[in-house]
């Protein structure tokens, strides 16, 4: 092999036929131990098509799962297949995979365009092809105007987007995004979420992890829940929402007159009870969160009482996990 530093020649692409019967990702009884610590515990899973959210608190095994998928880690037990191929033994499937890790480290001395186009050449693209593709994906993630600035000068959201751009440059069939929204401001989150949705709409398989339920909810309905390295559940997020709604929920209001407001809310049929956790707080207990939320604004307005905040402490991943764990028990 003689290196081709110019890389301007025409490449005749060798077509890799997609096996329609094989899912993009398949794990069969996969476990991973770090010494005495278990990272992933007997996980069996198949994913293909659309956006799938991997939900789990920190330490649930999301990153371990991704690292196994992209061949960074070797599973201690079980079988992993990317497009039917073991990624630990053979990196060939990476030609169809884009991966964004949770780490923030980038080559700060490179420009965004350099970064994306240089790494694109590792897929076998010529220099010109790689450059054109870099332009394309940087535009897709809304970074065209800063493409030739050094990455070191990028904001956190830009850094995440350039990582996503690099993962898209090979037009992958499978995109794995590990906590892509972590640390981003609201504007960047919205942009990245839109990007992920668009990719999903293009028919790609996208796997995106997060430990924030509301984030995943805005991106996809298909979720996988991991907890303590185990696969807790997988399926549709709407369904889980429905299940949660049938479970006791709390609504926490901060007001100057919690008792007065409590008297007014207790007339609502769906309200089961109230508590006063703090002198200025009212906790409403209900089984039908949506029904209470639909009447709450008019009730507050008509009462003329001042309410400074309304929170749903149970509408988060922890509550979801607690519920699921309860169900398992």
Partner 1 sequence: MTEKNRDQDFLQTSDQHLPVSSKVSPTPFVKPLPDRIILNSVWSGLDRKAGAIIEFTARQLRVRASTWVIGTVGLMLMLLLLATYAEAMVEGIDPVDDDGDSEDWDEDGYPLGQERKWGTSDWNSAEFPGSGVFVSDEWLNWNQADHTGNHTYRGNAVITSYTWIGSPPNSQNKGWAQVGNFSDCTEYEEEYDLQIGRSCLTSDGDIRFNGLIQVNGTVGVESEKWYQYLEWGEFVGASDIPIPQDPRSMYIDEDGFDIDVASGETSQGFDDDGDCIRDWDIISSRTSNPEFIWEDYFMSDSNRNGIDCDVELVFDREGNLISIEADNMVDEDPSEDEFVLESLHRGFVLAVGKVAFLFLLGIFIPLFLATGLIRDEMASGTMYYLIGKPIHRAEFFIYRILGFMSISAPYMVVLALLVGLVTSFIGPGDSLFRFQDLTVWLIIGITAALVLLAYSATFSALGVISKKFGIYIAMVMGVWEFIMAFFSLLTSGQSKIAWLSVSHWGLEMVNSAALIAWPDSGYYDIIGSGLFNSSVVFSIFWNEPVIVPGSPIGSLLVSAFFLIFYIGVWVLIGQSFLGRREID
- Contact region with partner 1 (CB under 8 A), list: 39-47, 211-219, 245-253, 295-303: 39-47
Site string for partner 1, 192-211 (x = CB under 8 A): -----------xxx------
**To the nearest whole angstrom, how small is the minimum distance from the Cβ of residue 314 to partner 1?**
18
**To the nearest whole angstrom, how small is the minimum distance from the Cβ of residue 237 to partner 1?**
8
**Is residue 159 involved in binding partner 1 (CB under 8 A)?**
no
Site string for partner 1, 214-243 (x = CB under 8 A): -------xx-------xxxxxxx-xxx-xx
Q: Which is nearer to partner 1, 136 or 264 (CB)?
A: 136
**To the nearest whole angstrom, how small is the minimum distance from the Cβ of residue 119 to partner 1?**
6
> For partner 1, which residue of 30, 119, 208, 321 counts as binding (CB under 8 A)?
119
> For partner 1, which residue of 33, 38, 59, 72 counts as binding (CB under 8 A)?
72
136 neighbors 16 (Cβ within 8 angstroms)? no
151 neighbors 115 (Cβ within 8 angstroms)? yes
Q: Which 77-106 residues touch partner 1, going by CB under 8 A?
A: 90-97, 99, 101, 103, 105-106
**To the nearest whole angstrom, how small is the minimum distance from the Cβ of residue 292 to partner 1?**
24
Six-digit token string for 157: 């959201």
Q: Which is nearer to partner 1, 105 or 308 (CB)?
A: 105
> For partner 1, which residue of 33, 38, 50, 57 counts as binding (CB under 8 A)?
50
């Amino acid at each position: 092999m003689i290196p081709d530093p110019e890389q301007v020649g025409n490449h005749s692409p060798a077509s890799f036929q997609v096996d329609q019967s094989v899912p993009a990702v398949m794990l069969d009884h996969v476990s991973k131990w770090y010494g005495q610590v278990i990272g992933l515990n007997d996980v069996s899973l198949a994913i293909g098509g659309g956006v799938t959210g991997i939900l789990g608190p920190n330490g649930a095994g999301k990153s371990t799962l991704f690292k196994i998928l992209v061949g960074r880690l070797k599973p201690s037990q079980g079988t992993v297949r990317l497009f039917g191929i073991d990624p630990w033994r053979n990196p060939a499937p990476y030609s169809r995979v884009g991966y964004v890790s949770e780490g923030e480290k980038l080559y700060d001395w490179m420009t965004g365009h350099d970064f994306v186009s240089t790494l694109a050449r590792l897929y076998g693209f010529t220099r010109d092809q790689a450059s054109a593709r870099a332009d394309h994906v940087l535009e897709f993630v809304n970074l065209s105007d800063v493409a030739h600035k050094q990455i070191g000068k990028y904001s956190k959201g830009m850094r995440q987007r350039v990582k996503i751009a690099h993962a898209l440059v090979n037009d992958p069939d499978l995109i794995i995004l590990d906590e892509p929204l972590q640390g981003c401001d609201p504007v960047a989150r919205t942009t990245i979420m839109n990007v992920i949705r668009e990719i999903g709409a293009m028919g790609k398989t996208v796997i995106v992890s997060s430990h924030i339920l509301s984030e995943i909810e805005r991106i996809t309905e298909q979720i996988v829940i991991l907890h303590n390295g185990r696969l807790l559940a997988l399926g549709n997020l709407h369904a889980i929402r429905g299940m949660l709604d049938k479970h006791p929920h709390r609504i926490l209001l901060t007001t100057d007159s919690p008792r007065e407001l409590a008297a007014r809310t207790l007339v609502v049929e769906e309200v089961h009870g109230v508590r006063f956790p703090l002198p200025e707080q009212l906790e409403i207990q209900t089984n039908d969160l949506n029904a209470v939320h639909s009447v709450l604004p008019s009730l507050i307005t008509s009462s003329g009482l001042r309410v400074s905040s309304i929170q749903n402490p149970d509408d988060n991943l922890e509550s979801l996990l607690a519920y699921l764990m309860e169900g398992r028990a």
